[in-house]
């Protein structure tokens, strides 16, 4: 399963090469052109078969959140800082892989036996934590994991029946959806698919990719927050596992184009594909950068709901994954020029 391979790949923001290599291999022979741009985005083109062809940009980001080594202690442990949005609550005790050689390590914490009263309630900040790779002293640590080495969670992909567990579904699941779309039949429109870099640190890859692509419209494919565990109050779960692809109306970075969202909802309704709206006002995706390119690009974001994103292990429903692929494929087949116009 391509999702397994992508999930287990090592690729925090700015260090996406291993993910890129997997994708290049997976797409060989399925696209007309493939190239890497100055920032490391992997571009692919797949020409359309229709007569009135739009240029459609579809993005999924390759990078994941992680840590970066910023210093070494005398005891051989590593000081780190966050790459992207990391919640320090998920770090202590997590198993990690460090640097290009994927050295196994653990984020250290004080044993429960030694905790003083009140200590267990406090969250250690990232600068208080240390990554332990078993190095004996500062020099060895420096050699094994120099300043700038990056760290990711060491989580194996597992199938739990119809649900799967793994790291970095944000956004390796978006990458997997895009691979499925590209491996299928040609679309009526010219597809410009880009696997972007550095989304987690500010949508940087998508910004230059959209400038280069000059698209008529854009879709960002994502893995998004599912906060659907029982709650005290009857408030939004953001999205729910098993309820189908999540469509964004508005997040912190953009407002989805109404014509494209209508296309998505109508496609889902006509084909009986479940779908849901993500809680508005939360998060941000590559669409936030793409919609601002040049004279503006109508954009939409479609995501697979994932529990526990930005933590060592997320859960997603394979049915949601399949439905996201299907919704996107059918929507791209039904896309017409009037969907990106302003009269609807």
Question: x/- site string to another protein, residues 210 to 239, per CB under 8 A?
Answer: ------x-----------------xxx---
Residue placing its CB nearer to another protein in the complex, 98 or 293: 293
Residue placing its CB nearer to another protein in the complex, 28 or 295: 295
239-251 exposure pattern, b = at least 16 Cβ within 10 A, e = fewer: bbbbbbbbbbeeb
Quote the Cα angle for 74-76-79, to 5°. 90
Question: C-beta of 3: minimal distance to another protein in Å?
Answer: 28
253 binds another protein (CB under 8 A): yes
Q: For residue 291, is the peptide bond before it cis, meaning its omega torsion is within 30 degrees of 0?
A: no
255 binds another protein (CB under 8 A): yes
State yes or no: is 240 an active-site residue: no
Contacts of 271 (CB under 8 A, 6+ apart): 326, 327, 330
342 binds another protein (CB under 8 A): yes
Query: What does the DSSP assignment read for 302-344?
Result: EEEEEETTTSS-EEEEHHHHHHHHHHHHHHHHH--GGGGSS--
295 binds another protein (CB under 8 A): yes
258 binds another protein (CB under 8 A): yes
Between helices 169-183 and 318-334, what is the axis angle to 10°?
50
Query: What does the DSSP assignment read for 273-301?
Result: ---EEPPTT----THHHHTTSTT---EEE
Question: C-beta of 215: minimal distance to another protein in Å?
Answer: 10
User: Which of 294, 333, 337, 338 is close enough to bind another protein by CB under 8 A?
Assistant: 294
134 binds another protein (CB under 8 A): no
Tokens describing residue 108: 């250290």
264-283 residues near another protein, rule: CB under 8 A: 276-277, 279-282
Give me the residues that bind another protein (CB under 8 A), please. Answer: 216, 234-236, 247, 249-250, 253-258, 261, 276-277, 279-282, 288, 291-292, 294-298, 340-344
């Amino acid at each position: 399963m391509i999702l397994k391979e992508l999930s287990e790949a090592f690729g925090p923001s700015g260090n996406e090469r291993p993910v890129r290599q997997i994708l290049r291999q997976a797409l060989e022979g399925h696209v007309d052109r493939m190239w890497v741009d100055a920032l490391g985005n992997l571009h692919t083109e797949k020409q359309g078969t229709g007569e009135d062809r739009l240029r459609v940009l579809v993005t999924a980001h390759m990078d994941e959140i992680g840590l970066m080594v910023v210093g070494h202690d005398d005891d051989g442990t590593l000081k780190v800082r966050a790459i992207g949005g990391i919640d320090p609550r998920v770090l202590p005790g997590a198993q990690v892989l460090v640097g290009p050689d994927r050295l196994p390590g653990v984020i250290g914490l004080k044993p429960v036996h030694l905790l003083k009263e009140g200590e267990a309630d406090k969250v250690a900040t990232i600068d208080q934590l240390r990554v332990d790779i078993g190095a004996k002293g500062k020099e060895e640590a420096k050699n094994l994991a120099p300043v700038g080495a990056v760290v990711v969670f060491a989580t194996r992909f597992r199938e739990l029946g119809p649900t799967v567990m793994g790291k970095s579904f944000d956004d390796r699941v978006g990458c997997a959806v895009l691979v499925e779309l590209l491996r299928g039949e040609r679309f009526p429109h010219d597809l410009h698919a880009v696997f972007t870099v550095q989304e987690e640190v500010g949508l940087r890859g998508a910004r230059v990719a959209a400038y280069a692509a000059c698209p008529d419209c854009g879709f960002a494919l994502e893995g998004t927050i599912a906060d659907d565990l029982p709650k005290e109050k009857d408030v939004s779960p953001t999205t729910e596992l098993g309820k189908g692809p999540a469509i964004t109306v508005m997040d912190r970075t953009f407002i989805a184009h109404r014509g494209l969202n209508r296309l998505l909802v109508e496609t889902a309704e006509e084909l009986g594909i479940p779908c849901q709206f993500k809680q508005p006002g939360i998060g941000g995706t590559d669409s936030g950068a793409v919609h601002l390119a040049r004279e503006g690009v109508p954009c939409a974001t479609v995501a697979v709901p994932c529990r526990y994103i930005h933590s060592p292990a997320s859960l997603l429903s394979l049915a949601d994954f399949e439905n996201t692929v299907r919704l996107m494929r059918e929507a791209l087949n039904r896309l017409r020029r009037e969907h990106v116009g302003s009269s609807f």
